[in-house]
Structure 1
Amino acid sequence: MSAPRFVDPSLLTETAEGPALRGSRCRDCDAYTFPAQDGCPRCTGSGTEDVALSRTGTLWSWTSQGFRPKPPYTGTAEHEPYAVGYVELPGQLIVESRLVETDPDRLEIGMPVELALVPFRTDADGPVHTFAFVGRAS
């Protein structure tokens, strides 16, 4: 079985616990960024290093989107509303992400979430995946 293909492989890195978002950390001021960057937006320093971001966090805020994402993240022709949230990764930063759960009654600010890889669309070469966050037991 071949490894899954991703919308943008540069956003992910492998860790012992599984895939994680690939970010960067400034060695001068300790600011984290996602996606990874060569320079620091906080102090403008150039001493950044790639880091695997936390795979778990808390849902900071969320909304439901009823429109198709912009290209190249267009998804499938059978578009359904999806949830998008801001996820706070402890001690690092807040990232914007799709959420696996779309039922508003099951989403709660402050709930624990974990990174997941999910099918996004299918093209001529097969399925293409993206990242999302899914609720986890606390």
Structure 2
Amino acid sequence: MARTRRPVVPGWFTGGGDTDGGGPGAENFRLLGTRCGACGAVFFPRVDSFCRNPGCAGTELMEVPLSRRGTVWSYTDGRYRPPPPYVSDPEVPWQPYTLVAVELAAERMVVLGQAAPGVTVADLRVGMPVEVVPGVLGEDAETVWTTWWWRPVPQDDRRRA
């Protein structure tokens, strides 16, 4: 029986393609934010009712795809078992994971996310280019819960950009 693919938080990212962090469809995977029509401010996670800018009373909000690439602003390893919606089997020994805060220059914001599997704090440096890719947060018998990951931009892609 095929499992249903569902985003952990609906409306926060495009469907993308494979969720191995770089397969077909990864180039179309994007986080989705909101742009205020009155002041132009961009927000993530998205909001649909009012502008988060305290100096703006705008209510005309448009969904916008965010930049696929940014630079590492900060990073750390998570050495504790996080609360839901993170899926974790309490019977399995805990494995640390890497969190990355990524600056999106065009949007003038920092977005937090988990690094792709295999990326550790030893692989990251402040200012290095990273890109958003589709990922899997967890799976059960009926559902594959999808999310986003950050991964370093391959050296060959850095030279082309």
TM over 0.5: yes
Report the alpha carbon displacement of residue 126 of structure 1 after superposing the two structures with TM: 4.0
Question: Partners of 2:123 and 2:151 in 1: how far apart?
Answer: 11
Once residues 55 and 61 of structure 1 are traced to their aligned partners in structure 2, the CA distance between those partners, rounded to angstroms, is 17
What do residues 87-124 of structure 1 show as CA deviations (whole Å, max 9, x unaligned)?
11121021111112542221111111111112221112
Structure 1: unaligned runs, 5 residues or longer = none
AA at the equivalent of 1:34: F
Amino acid at match of 1:56: R
Q: TM-score, normalised by structure 1?
A: 0.87
Instruction: Give the conservation status (yes or no) of the 8 Å contact 1:76–1:122.
Output: no
Partner of 2:106: 91
CA RMSD between the two structures: 2.2
Q: Aligned equivalents of 1:50 and 1:72: distance in 2?
A: 24
Percent of pairs identical after alignment?
Answer: 33
Q: Within 5 Å, which residues of 2 pair with 1:1-138? A: 4-13=5-14, 17-38=27-48, 39-42=50-53, 43-77=56-90, 78=92, 79-92=94-107, 93-100=109-116, 101-137=118-154, 138=158
- Report how many aligned residue pairs link the two structures: 138
- 1:76, distance to aligned residue in structure 2 (A): 4.1
Further displaced range: 41-50 or 59-68:
41-50
CA contact (8 A) 2:75 2:99 kept: yes
Q: Provide TM-score, normalisation by structure 2.
A: 0.75
CA contact (8 A) 1:68 1:74 kept: no
Moved more, 46-55 or 14-23: 14-23
Runs of at least 5 residues in structure 2 that lack an aligned partner in the other structure? 17-24
SS of 1:63 mapped into structure 2: strand
Aligned mates of 1:60, 1:41 — CA distance in 2: 22
Distance, in Å, in 1 between the alignment partners of 2:74 and 2:105 is 15
TM-aligned CA distance change 1:44 to 1:86, over 3 Å? farther
AA paired with 1:95? V
SS at match of 1:13: coil
| Of 55-64 and 38-47, the range deviating more from structure 2 | 38-47
- Structure 1 stretches of at least 4 aligned residues deviating more than 6 Å after TM superposition: none
1:67 and 1:87 mapped to 2: Cα distance? 21
